[in-house]
A = this chain, B = another copy of it.
Amino acid sequence: MAYAEVFTALADPTRRHIFEALLECPKTVGELAANEVVSRPAVSQHLKVLETAQLVAVEPQGNRRLYSIKSDGLEDLRNYLDRFWSDVLSAYGAEISRRMNNH
């Protein structure tokens, strides 16, 4: 039921960029910040949002923190869309039959 946070998290271009960067392989905050235009603290804040949305996970490794993709958030979003998808199709069916009756 966390699809709301997922929408919010992925609505931001920078957060999408960070998220997509993590698809390649797990990365530290510094590595992620090196590929972004914004500052490192900004990346930290974005990672916090992504973590709340269950899109990433952290694993402290000594001095550094290794961030990696967590599929839970995407799964929530996918379930939300799947539920909608059937509703959309049935809505189309209802609309079509409605038009066939009216026209």
Footprint of B on A, CB under 8 Å? 4, 7-8, 10-11, 13, 16, 20, 22-26, 68-69, 71, 74, 77-78, 81, 84-85, 87-88, 91-92, 94-95, 98
Given A4-B13, A7-B7, A11-B8: A85 touches B78 (CB 8 Å cut-off) = yes
Q: Is the CB of A24 within 8 A of B91?
A: yes
Q: Is the CB of B4 within 8 A of A84?
A: no
B8, B69, B88: the one within 8 Å of A88 (CB): B69
Q: Is the CB of B95 within 8 A of A26?
A: yes
Given A74-B85, A81-B77, A85-B78: A91 touches B25 (CB 8 Å cut-off) = yes
Report the Cα distance A43→B69, complex, angstroms.
36
> Which residue of chain B has its CB nearest to the CB of A23?
B87
Distance from A16 Cβ to chain B, minimum over Cβ atoms (Å): 8
Residue among A7, A22, A24, A74 having the largest count of chain B Cβ atoms under 10 Å: A7
